[in-house]
Every structure is written in structure tokens, then in C-alpha cells.
Chains A and B, each alone.
Chain A
Amino acid sequence: MTAIDPTAHLTSEQIEELGRELDAIRDEVIADRGEKDAAYIRRVVSAQRRLELVSRGVLLFSMFPPAWLLGTAGLSVAKIMDNMEIGHNVLHGQWDWMRDPKIHSTTWEWDHVSPSEQWKHSHNELHHTYTNVIGKDNDLGYGIMRVDEDQKWHPFHLGQPLWNLINACFFEYGIAAYDLELGKNLHKRRRRTPEFRARARAVGRKIRKQVLKDYVIHPLLSGPSFLPTLAATFTANLVRNIWSHSVIMCGHFPEGVQVFERRSINGETRGQWYLRQMMGSANISGSRAMHFMTGNLSHQIEHHLFPDLPSNRYAEVAVKVRALFEKYELEYVTGPLPTQVFSAWRKVVRLSLPNKKPRVETPGGQQELVAL
């Protein structure tokens, strides 16, 4: 749906060849996956637990400002680790091959108000299968935003920078609502289906537990530090939410990322599916610490190509994937975090206004441009 299809120069043979080359990259990692990777995730899980334990311990004394600062910083990092490098990736089944029931997509629960089960459905099944397909991938704008020039403008969209900001602050609740398909289910009739009610109850239970823990139990345990601890956990949740929102915006929103029209994925081949993932995702460049804190979603392109490969392998995979982008003359969208965040926000703001120029209809049907 973009004015110029950046993949137009590829023949269908080339696209299938590209698919085979990507399959080969995947096979190589799988053949080599083993003890070191298992040790890595176990180390991360144990570090996260220790950090959370220590931070919450320090917060018991959060009436002293240095303790507050230290505890809040530690808890924020622990929550980010839980959601990003551990939760997101475990729930993708990246570590299922270890056959350890304690680190498995079917048993994992995370520090998040959306229950794992629901998130896996909307994220793994819907978002990853229909990446950037308008109308099918609701991650595009989480259903509340206009993310492409071709989407019809509505006065409601004027507020989208504000919606986006609010969503960033309360991101986990946004995700829970999104997983519930709350927008679609707000009609009374839909709300009454037993299936929806069961799911809503599950979310309610999860929210209650999370809120009770962060805003009642731990502050109470802190006794005289009740209020500072409450403020600390609120801050940690806020930091975690804004951080993950930013990282995730960088994955599919920056300028240069393509979106696709519904019909374009009919009868899609494996090569075409891969190509869509390549054009629909964007990376964040940076240090190893940056990759770690984003849960390696800084390698969003690699993650979308191989969502089930262990996250610690994306960095090495990225080198090979990038070489393929060059070989096939495709644009590898990447940049430092501030640049990418800015780019994504600029797009949000720009699209909150109606298009400047009327859309140019190219002969041959613009809608078909990305029908690969």
C-alpha cells in the first residue's frame, strides 16, 4: 500500500530462493542449539529473580531516598527483564526444546496483567502470522490508531498522539484489553458470550493479583515505608510500560516499514511470507546491553523471521540476515533507539491529520502493489 513497492524488482523465483536461504539460516541455529543456550536462559531467569528479590528487599526501607531510588531502579529493570528477555521469548516457545516444564510456553506466567494464554493467542497466532496486514494484524495501532496513509482519516484520529501516550503509560492494560479484543466485544451481545466472559474473568483475576501484590501487599510489608513503596512499584510499572511500548513501536512503526493489504496474503508462499516479515519489521541498533533490555526485540526483523529461535542467537543471525537484505537489494530498517522512537512518534502525529496530498491512483491498481 505504499506508493512504491520496494520488492518490485524481485522475481518470484528470487523470492523462493530467498526463502530457502532463510530456512538454511534457521536450520543452522537449530542444529547448533544446546547446552550453552540452556545455560544462558537459566542464568537470565535466576538473575531476574535475584534482582527482583533484592530490589523489593531494599524497598522495605524506601522511606530513605537512596533506598527508594536503588529499589525502584532495580525493580524496573527486573520487571523489564521479566517481560522482555524472559516472558516474551519463553511464551514464543523459544525454549520449549529444552523440555524443562519450568521454562516452557505452556506453563509460563509473567509479571503482566494479560494472562499468558490470551497473550499467546493474540500475539503469537494473530500478530506473527498476519504481520502488518491491515485489518488482520491488530498490533498495527492496537486498533485505535491510524498507521497508514491509505487508512481513512476520521476526526477521532486527531487525538491519537494522546491515545498513544496514555497507552504507553498503561501499556500492560492496553495489551490486556487488546488481547480481550475489548473494542470489538463492547457490544452487549458479544459481551455476553460465555467464552468472552471466561476470558474477561481470567484477566480480572490476573489484574487483581498483580495490583494486590504491587500496590497492597508489598507496601504493607514495608510498614512505615508504605507510601514510598507504593510509589516505587507504580514507578517501576510505569517505566516498564513506557519502555516496552517504545521498543514495540520501534518494531513495526518507523518510517520505511511496509504495511500490507488483506488480499495480498492470499495463497502466500513461504518465500513471500518471509519477505513480508522482512519488509514489515524494523530493528534498533545499539550495545549488547540495549539488545538485552529489549529482550532482543531490537532484532525485530530476525525475530519475525524466526520467532521460535532462542533470543540469544538473534545477534549472530542478524549478520547473515542483513547480508541477504543487501544481496536482494532490500532496505534493512534500523537505527538507534532515540531515532526510531522519534520516527515512530512522528508517524503517529503525521497520520493523526488527514493526508496532505490526495492519494494518487496508479494505473494497474495500487491495492495490488504488494501482492507479491
Chain B
Amino acid sequence: MTSAALRSRAWKLLEMVTTPLLPSDYLDLVSPLRAGADLRGRIEAVHPETGDAATVVIRPGRAWRGHTAGQYVRVGVDVDGVRLWRAYSITSPTHRQDGRITITVKAIPDGKVSNHLVRRAKPGTLVQLDHPAGDFVLPRDKPAKVLYLTAGSGITPVMGMLRDIEFDDVVMVHSAPRPQDVIFRDELHDLVADEKMRLTEVHTDTDGMLDIARLDELVPDWAERETWACGPAGLLDAAEGHWTGHAIRERLHTERFRPGIVVAGDGGEVTFSATGKTVDANGATPLLDIGEEAGVLMPSGCRMGICFGCVTPLKAGAVRDLRTGEITEAEPGVLIQTCVSAAAGPCDIER
């Protein structure tokens, strides 16, 4: 018997010992970061960067496969007891000796996860991780000239790149409201002092928003540069227009922050994606009724919110709890009780 087969036999036997739980349920008690465990990480330190941004040092579990500079990782954090998932760019270089990774988080107003990580997260806390993803990365072959165009926390993936690979000719244009809001400012200025980079800071509180037309003046040879841009949608839209206008769109790589914020309204178009039906729903009728009327096979039980027999994944959009008025937004893994939830805008129910 091969050793793999032997191991799976042994594992089966162990499962018989621990049923109805799994052996991993017990192993997680002592070693949550071991090889073979679900991918998690442990927060080891939180370093403030600016007034509202901090770098979180995470020791990933053994299952971590490493990342490519510029990629992001989805992190599942328990905030007030509720597990919420957000994506953050990895700001540490890929060759960090101690195997730790860092994410740098800017607290956004009303941002549950970002405020928690910046202000409340404690070393020792476990977080859930996904494998790193994203194609906002550097190419295999080194470009001769590079431009990084960033704004606000758009600097985070680029910082991961800057720390990872040195290029011969790098220019960065970065905008932030005020000098003290520039994340990694000291490190950036060190790079400038060491002549590893040229930097233009735009302070929008005094200079106004960066007008993409000013690029000619700030970086005269911008069109010759391979460019990575990350920041708010306005900046990226302008950049894409500008590069396209000069017919060099392929030299621009962009990464967008969270696409569209969900606006919770009253009712909306409901898609039952497993069945492929779409119907209009008002904001007062339970989705269970909406689905049944549309001929979708909906699981149900008490129809009054107590049995949890109707829970169904919410894939997109938002719903309102008819009892409390609470809004639930779609996120991977979010389940809703269809008998007491109504559409709060367009949504996608996996039935």
C-alpha cells in the first residue's frame, strides 16, 4: 500500500474515533495553524501608519502558498462576534524571511472591518484567510521604466511591489489629502533619498484632485512607462480614458477597490439564480412567498422565522429583516431566512 493510501486509511479510522466530529475539530483546539488545517492566520502585531491606517502582521497557517507582489488576500475577521470578509492588498514582500505577511488597512468611515483592524484588533487573534488572488501584479520581464500612480490606500498593493522588486527607473505619483495622510511616507522618502525612486506627492486638500492632464508636466515620459494605477474609481476612469486616448491602454494596469456599494432600498428585482428566474419584489413581501409565487422550489418550515428551515445563500444585493428592519448585504457564505426577509434592492437568491 502506498503511504498516501495508508494515511487516508489511518485518517478514516481516526474519523471513526471522533464521529460525529472530525479529527480536525479536535486538532484545531491545539494547533489551528497546522498543515492540513483550514487556512487561517494569527495576528502578531498591529503597527499604526497614519491617524487612520495601520499595518497588521499576520502569521499565516502552514497551508499558505505564498503570494505574488500586488495581490490581495481575503481576510475573515470576527467583528462583534460576526464573521466578516474583506479583501486587502498584501504589503509585505514575497521573500520576507520570517514567513509573515502584512496587510495595511485604512479605516474608512463606518467601515466595520477596517475600523476594527486599525483600532481594536489584538495580537493573538485568529483570522480566516483565503489564498491570495488578483492579477494586479508585475510581469515576468522587468520593464525598463515604471510609473506607479496611486491615491489614498491605493498605495497598498504598490507598496507590496516596491518592497518586492527594484526597478532601474521608477516614478511614483501619489495623492492623499494631507502630508500626514500619506501611508508609508517615511519609507517612500527613504527610497527617494537612496535614489531608488522619484516621487511626486499631490496633497488634495491644498492642491485639489489630481488632474490626469497634469501628468505631462509631472512625468513627461509617462507614455513610455509601464504603469500600475490603484485608487478611487474617478482616478482610474480618468487614467483609463487618458491611456486609451493615447492608444497605449495595454501599458496601464489598474486595480479597483470594492466595486459598487450596495444601496439598500425598498424592494427590487430578485434573481433566483439556481432556477434562472427573475421577478420584481416589493419591500414588504417575504422572499419565500416571492419565490413560491414564481414557481421556484423554496425550502420552508414555520414561515415565521423560528425554525431556520428556509435558510438560503444570498449571493448578491441586500435584504431587510421584516422583524427588525436590519439590512443584510451579500457576502460569500451569507445565508438568510427567506420567510422573514424582503428585498432591499436588487438581490440574488441561490434557489
A residues touching B (Cβ–Cβ < 8 Å)?
23, 26-27, 30, 33-39, 46, 49-50, 53, 92-93, 96-102, 105-106, 109-111, 120-121, 124-125, 128-129, 206, 209-210, 212-213, 217-218, 221, 270, 273, 307-308
- Could you tell me if A105 and B17 are in contact, using CB atoms closer than 8 angstroms? no
Report chain A residues within 8 Å CB of B301: 121, 124-125, 129
Contacts A105-B308, A124-B302, A124-B308 given; indicate if A98 touches B20 (C-beta within 8 A).
no
Min CB distance B202 to A, Å, is 40
The interface on chain B, measured as residues whose beta carbon lies within 8 A of the other chain's beta carbons, has a size of 29
Min CB distance B231 to A, Å, is 30
Min CB distance A237 to B, Å, is 14
Contacts A49-B25, A106-B335 given; indicate if A273 touches B304 (C-beta within 8 A).
yes
Which of A50, A92, A105, A125 lies in contact with B311, CB distance below 8 A?
Answer: A105
- Could you tell me if B333 and A120 are in contact, using CB atoms closer than 8 angstroms? no
Min CB distance A311 to B, Å, is 15
- Could you tell me if A93 and B17 are in contact, using CB atoms closer than 8 angstroms? no
Which of A53, A128, A212 lies in contact with B307, CB distance below 8 A?
Answer: A128
Q: B99 in the interface, Cβ–Cβ < 8 Å?
A: no
Which of B83, B308, B326 lies in contact with A92, CB distance below 8 A?
Answer: B308
Contacts A100-B83, A109-B20 given; indicate if A129 touches B29 (C-beta within 8 A).
no
Contacts A53-B26, A99-B82 given; indicate if A213 touches B306 (C-beta within 8 A).
no
- Could you tell me if B302 and A129 are in contact, using CB atoms closer than 8 angstroms? yes
Q: Report B317-328 CB contacts with A as 1/0, cut-off 8 Å.
A: 000000110100
- Could you tell me if A27 and B324 are in contact, using CB atoms closer than 8 angstroms? yes
Report chain B residues within 8 Å CB of A308: 305-306, 308
- Could you tell me if B20 and A121 are in contact, using CB atoms closer than 8 angstroms? no
Min CB distance A24 to B, Å, is 11
Docked Cα-Cα span, A105 to B301, in Å, equals 14
Instruction: Classify the secondary structure of A's interface with B.
Output: helix
Which of B21, B81, B307, B335 lies in contact with A129, CB distance below 8 A?
Answer: B307
Min CB distance A14 to B, Å, is 21
Nearest neighbor of A33 in chain B, beta-carbon distance: B81
Min CB distance A33 to B, Å, is 7
- Could you tell me if B311 and A124 are in contact, using CB atoms closer than 8 angstroms? no
Nearest neighbor of A41 in chain B, beta-carbon distance: B81
- Could you tell me if B78 and A38 are in contact, using CB atoms closer than 8 angstroms? yes
- Could you tell me if A213 and B16 are in contact, using CB atoms closer than 8 angstroms? yes
Contacts A109-B20, A111-B20, A209-B19 given; indicate if A124 touches B26 (C-beta within 8 A).
no
- Could you tell me if B19 and A213 are in contact, using CB atoms closer than 8 angstroms? yes
Contacts A125-B309, A217-B16, A217-B17 given; indicate if A49 touches B26 (C-beta within 8 A).
yes
Docked Cα-Cα span, A92 to B309, in Å, equals 10
Which of A35, A109, A124, A273 lies in contact with B309, CB distance below 8 A?
Answer: A124
- Could you tell me if B83 and A125 are in contact, using CB atoms closer than 8 angstroms? no
Question: What are 25 A-B pairs at a CB distance below 8 A?
Answer: A27-B323, A30-B324, A34-B81, A49-B21, A49-B26, A50-B29, A93-B307, A96-B308, A98-B81, A98-B82, A98-B83, A102-B25, A109-B21, A111-B20, A121-B301, A124-B309, A125-B301, A125-B307, A206-B20, A209-B19, A210-B20, A212-B19, A213-B19, A273-B304, A307-B307
